[in-house]
Chain A
Amino acid sequence: MKMLHTTTRAAAIALSACLLASAAAADGKLAIKAGRVLPGPGMPELEKATIVIENGRIAAIGKDVKVPWDAVVIDAPSLVAIPGYVEAHSARGMDRPNENLDVAPFLSVRDSIDPVGFYFEDSLRWGVTTINIQQGNNCVVAGQGVIVRPIGLTVDEMIVRTPSGVKLSASPKMGFSAATQAQALRRAFGDLRRALEQLVAEKKEGSDRARREALYQGRDLEGENAKGKAMEGAAWKVTGLELVPRGEIDEKLVPLLALVEGKLPAFFYCGRPMDVHTALDIAKENGFLAKTTLVIAPAAYKAAGAIAAAKVAVILDGAAVYVETDPLTGEEREVFVPGELKQAGVRFALASANPTTESLWFQAAQCVGRGMPRAEAVAAVTTIPAEILGLGKQLGTLEVGKFGTVVLCSGDPLSVTSWVERVVVEGRDVYDRSKDVRVKHLIGGQAPANTQAMGASLLGDPRKVVCCEGEDPEEHAKHEAEERAKKDKGEAEDDK
């Protein structure tokens, strides 16, 4: 896949419109005739196969599949079809992440997602079709994440599942220490426990008193206890919580309670190996280890043994190759982190180190380049992240019954010379490179119609649109030179 370079807002706005226009209805029928189909890691490749998508899901896939008469057909005999990549953890696509409020389990990134953000557009260009947005590596309990598809103009349209889980962090922010971070984490759960105990005590006290009052007054005890539910939880429970109607529990505490009760997944950030132990301890102490996924920075790979022993999955949040400096000699050493994780027996997903140059395909390609079997590398960006997000039955491979989310590439999907040509998300034809105005602009030099060219001053004279289709390149170069000369002259005068 070729790299895209810097972008301009003008081009992007034009593109958003283009993306929308091409989005077909999800309840229709769509057939993709691809030259090759790579249905999933370790699955046999199909030559000249057809994928039929009905109501957003794959209805049939194979060589001799009959295309329904009413299906829209994408005929792509030269393209390779793969399942869309799954980004298990990303803090992008938000207006602004919360990195200030330390303990905020009640916050949801849902309220901060910007549907027209560049990031979502770019995701399609790199074949990333499902994203778990989850922020707060610098917090303590950062809030709830959301799983989205990168299409749609409203947040509701984008959502696959909300909440995806609660984000916690075992890594202190700059200038603070692991000791106070662990203290803050323990305090969060300690506060929850004390608050629940207090609620139960008050409730119990109230109802006990009411019972005694009824006895005194000679009233028959009418009615049942207030409705509530006994607390679940593998590590600790507050007895008597069934006395408290769930609605009476402070909603700020509810997500943490859901964690302790094992009802919400946890995504725990660990920047350093020692943080892994804090995260595992906190998860164990509060009974949500089985629902925990660690989001680790490359430096935390040294704790791979502890991670494997705890049997938790990992999302590698950062570059696959980590450069380590020896504290005594100052020598630098390259560490191939996915290789270390694999060797320790850790189940891992890869996340994009950045949304463009190191997107998921690149991370997987790097693994293959360093000798990891292809199926394992591809699994780390498709099936494993899908399973981590609880979407293993919907996403990750191209199989009947799963989401009709297909990426069509111009060649080997892990090759640096391949493009993502078409993207279908749940039966909707959402991206076509031949109509991608921004790519045309940046790579081919064609400005979108009715926009100003790159570099044109917003305050300057409205000038002729340059770079547009059909303009003579020589003419264009001349224009540019004139403009530059004019500008230089202006600046020179300003200097005087």
Chain B
Amino acid sequence: MLAIPSLVAFGIAALPSLVLGDEPAATPKDLFIRAEQLHVRPGRVLERGMLWVHEGQIVAVGTDLKLPKDALVIEGKVACAGFIDSWSAFALEPNAQFDDRAGPATRAVDAVDSYVDERHERALLAAGITAVRLQPTVGARAGGVGAVLRLHPTKSFAQTTVIADACSATAIGVSRGDGRSFDVFERVSAVDRVIGAIADGHAYLVEGNEYRHELAEWEKKIADKQKELDDGFKKAKKDREKAQTEAKDKGSEFKDKEYKEDKKPKAPRFDEEKEIYARIAAGELPLVVEVHRALEMRALLAGTARFDRLRLVLAGASEAAQCAELLVERRIPVIVWPVPMGVQRAREYRGASLALAAELDHAGVEVLLGSGAMDPLASRDLPLLGSLAVGHGLPRETALAALTTRPARVFDVADQLGTLELGRSADVLVLDGDPFAATTSIRYVLSAGELVVGEVKK
């Protein structure tokens, strides 16, 4: 631990500038991380691993790297990729949670407030959260199009958007925070609504493809016709003149021949909501459905089985253990979050248990962890939720995957987030122990290659 003594030595000298609130010095070009255990990705651990970050990018990972000149050295016991909250409402303006105008085409990025208090963002970073998937949840009629954003205390979210259309989201049978629960018929119709929307999207997609096909055919036909007409024009002109003279001689009225051609195919009417569901049906966008009861889950799974490209993700899923086999068969990931306890706990959460993540994992379901998006600051406690899941039987390695590689894969950002592999923008946590032990603290956090938590002096 070289960094510790140097910190102590510089502590006193550094104090006055801290008191004055001076801006911390910009991150140097080169950062060098040494860790007793370096988790390149879950399951791939380098003992006494080293990581070289040059201008924000990971340029070398290994166990025998040469220390670059002038590099800032960061040391710790454990290093891993920054955590991704699969289900967050951080920085979403509060109204987004209760907007009745919202629909499938509403974009979460438009509700992100870049002027959110910097201290809140730093609190999340200090807990190891370096990226979030954002989606309005609580009272919104539809979650709209979700986004994945990196957290960085000084950059605007427009600069740190990793993907603006990560997924679409909706909910079935979830109380809207007004204490009212849905009855069984409402819940059944909610399932039908979701299936119907996917079916509409699918039909829209097919219609669009058919239109393009028909249009191409028509254009070809018309081009041929055009050529034929161009070639026959001289003759047609002569015929016409002749007909005109004849009509004149006979004293009858001259009439042009009636022209006929195939009607141009009509483009399907533009519909912004169906556009989104067409992308969902085509498997371009994953569809995250918050659903808790096994009954509705089964109905949803049965109703969507025919859409073979659909990428369904379940969220919440309190009673998912009952349909684990189906979920495994359909390879449907589940975002688990421990739901609130107490008298206010809505009925749909009744079946939730802290061992859910472990049970699903044991059955072979791909488990992700999220903080539920009920509160913008809930993301801060995500590592604690990870610890809880580990405490109830989720293997540590799986828990790490649930917070890093899995959300990155599900939301199509695996090429940018989730691992400490070469070429990535460095989102790194340096901890003094196991990431899921309650006694561990996070010493340093890098977001997009910049040191945003912890101070190191050369």
Interface residues of A (CB under 8 A from B): 172, 175-184, 187, 190, 194, 205, 209, 212-213, 215-220, 272-274, 277-278, 302-303, 327-328
Contacts and interface: CB of A to CB of B under 8 A. Distances in A.
B273 to A, nearest CB: 11
Given A179-B106, A179-B108, A212-B261, A218 B239 contact: yes
A182 B117 CA distance: 22
Given A216-B236, A217-B257, A178 B229 contact: no
A328 B102 CA distance: 29
B238 A218 contact: yes
Interface in B432-457: none
A180 B236 contact: no
Nearest to B255: A217
Contacts of A178: 93, 95-96, 110-111, 113
A177 B95 contact: yes
Nearest to A217: B256
Q: Which 8 interchain pairs have the tightest Cβ spacing? A: A218-B240, A218-B236, A179-B111, A182-B110, A177-B96, A180-B101, A177-B95, A213-B259
Interface in B91-140: 93, 95-102, 105-108, 110-115, 117, 119-120, 136
Contacts of B108: 179
Contacts of A327: 117, 120
B226 interface: yes
A175 B95 contact: yes
B276 to A, nearest CB: 11
Given A172-B95, A180-B99, A218 B259 contact: no
A422 to B, nearest CB: 46
Contacts of B107: 179, 182-183
Given A212-B229, A217-B257, A177 B111 contact: yes
Given A177-B111, A179-B108, A215 B230 contact: yes
A277 B159 CA distance: 12
B184 interface: no
A64 B230 CA distance: 81
A154 B11 CA distance: 75
Contacts of B136: 177, 179
A125 B457 CA distance: 65
Looking at chain A's contact residues, is the secondary structure mostly helix, strand, loop, or mixed?
Answer: helix
Contacts of B66: none
A381 to B, nearest CB: 28
A177, A212, A273: residue with the most chain B Cβ atoms closer than 10 Å:
A177
Nearest to A215: B229
Contacts of A272: 113, 115
Contacts of A183: 101, 105-107, 110
B225 interface: yes
B270 interface: yes
Nearest to B97: A177
A278 B110 contact: yes
Given A183-B105, A277-B158, A327-B117, A217 B110 contact: no
Contacts of B112: 274
Contact of A218 (B101, B120, B237): B237
Contacts of A274: 93, 112-115
A215 B233 contact: yes
Contacts of A303: 115
Contacts of A182: 107, 110
B106 A180 contact: yes
8 contacts: A175-B100, A177-B98, A177-B101, A178-B111, A180-B99, A180-B106, A215-B232, A218-B233
A194 B270 contact: yes
B153 interface: no
A39 B229 CA distance: 74
B144 interface: yes
A273 B237 CA distance: 68
Contact of B259 (A187, A216, A220, A277): A216
Interface size class, chain B: 35 or more
Contacts of B110: 178-183, 278
A219 B240 CA distance: 8
Nearest to A183: B106
Nearest to A327: B117
Contact of A217 (B101, B115, B156, B236): B236
B444 to A, nearest CB: 24
Given A217-B240, A218-B236, A327-B117, 8 more contacts: A177-B96, A179-B111, A194-B270, A205-B264, A212-B225, A274-B112, A328-B117, A328-B119
Contacts of A213: 259
B225 A177 contact: no
Interface in B229-286: 229-230, 232-233, 236-241, 256-257, 259, 261, 264, 270, 272
Contacts of A194: 270
A181 B82 CA distance: 33
Contacts of B232: 215
Contact of A176 (B101, B156, B236): B101
Nearest to B244: A218
B115 A273 contact: yes
Contacts of B101: 176-177, 180, 183-184
Contacts of A190: 272
B95 A209 contact: no
A182 B239 CA distance: 60
Nearest to B237: A218
Contacts of A212: 222, 225-226, 229, 259, 261
A57 to B, nearest CB: 46
A285 to B, nearest CB: 13
B55 to A, nearest CB: 24
B236 A215 contact: yes
A184 B110 CA distance: 11
A164 B64 CA distance: 69
Contacts of B261: 209, 212
Contacts of A216: 229, 236, 257, 259
A172 B239 CA distance: 67
Contacts of A328: 117, 119
A271 to B, nearest CB: 11
Contacts of A175: 95, 98-100
A177 B229 contact: no
A177 B99 CA distance: 6
A291 to B, nearest CB: 23
